[in-house]
Structure 1
Amino acid sequence: MASTVQLTSVLKTLADPTRRAVFERIAREGEVAATYLVQGSKVSQPAVSQHLRALRDAGLVAERREGRHIHYRVAPKGLGPLLDWLGHYQTFWAERFENLEKLLKESE
């Protein structure tokens, strides 16, 4: 399972609704220039920059520079700690539900 520090970083980063919306927009678009993220949003350019920095620091997005423009895309490996953690609990609950199903069949 991923380190606790990595998992905590991803969860904290995605806990902010505005930051999560920025991440989802990047995921939907594939690759987006930072200036495009400011357009049509209620968030200022400095705020968008801070959210992008947090997403980058958590490993959730990668950037590509093209002249003065910076383009962002989702870094799939960044979600690894979260997926590992969820996978652990998916197995946990699947086993519990199987046991419950067996118990219910035995009690019929």
Structure 2
Amino acid sequence: MIDPDPEDPLSSRAFKALGDPIRLDMVRQIAAAGELSWSALEDALSVSKPTISYHLKTLVQAELIIARKRGRHLHYSLRQETLRDLVDGLWELSPQPRLLRGDQIDHSSAKQGRRSQAARERRVARPEVPASEQKAAVVFTW
């Protein structure tokens, strides 16, 4: 069996962690709130305290969330860079998207090939864009 590379953004640890419905629900709730305390997760989930602890530990080990201690309480937030790397890694595996022009696929955009090495290097140093400055997205199809 091949051991997963911990530096690989497509490491199976993240997918295994997200593959459980309870953990996926936790991630969704944390994403919606920005940050959640342990007690808020306990109130929102219909599972036992040991189950919550186990799932939070799994998400922390998969580097999907980060725990911050404030006084006696733990607060959890998403590791945005990990999620971005995961999405970018999946994007690299996908076929080249093609623009829609009207209701027809523009096949000329498929000839441009995959992302260049320079484009992959640029994504590493990408700064955070505040939500107020984000623009509308362009729709692509495969």
TM-score, normalisation: structure 2: 0.60
Equivalent of 2:83 in 79, 85, 94: 79
Task: Give the Cα separation in 2 of the matches to 1:61 and 1:26.
Answer: 9
RMSD of Structure 2 on Structure 1 (CA)? 2.4
**Identity rate, percent:** 31
Q: Does 1:94 align with 2:97?
A: yes
The 2-side partners of 1:21 and 1:40 are apart by 10
Flag the structure with more relative contact order, 1 or 2, with Cα contacts below 8 A and sequence separation at least 6: 1
Match of residue 54, structure 1, among 40, 48, 58:
58
Q: Which has the higher helix share?
A: 1
Counterpart of 2:15 (choices 4, 11, 25) is: 11
Measure, in 2, the Cα distance between the counterparts of 1:78 and 1:49.
Answer: 21
| Matched positions, count | 97
**Alpha-carbon distance between aligned partners in 1 of 2:86 and 2:68, rounded to the nearest angstrom:** 24
Query: Cα offset for 1:50?
Result: 0.8
Runs of 4+ aligned residues of structure 1 deviating over 2 Å after TM superposition are: none
1:38/1:48 contact within 8 Å kept: yes
Letter in 1 for 2:21: P
Q: Secondary structure at the match of 2:97?
A: helix
Q: CA deviation at 1:39?
A: 0.6
Over 3 Å counting, the alpha-carbon distance change for 1:23 and 1:72 in structure 2 is same
After superposition, what is the alpha-carbon deviation per residue over 1:69-106, rounded to whole angstroms, capped at 9, x for unaligned? 0000011112244212221134x2427x737x99xxxx
Quote the Cα distance in structure 2 between the aligned partners of 1:47 and 1:9. Answer: 19
Listed as ranges, the gaps of 5+ residues in structure 2 are: 1-6, 99-104, 112-142
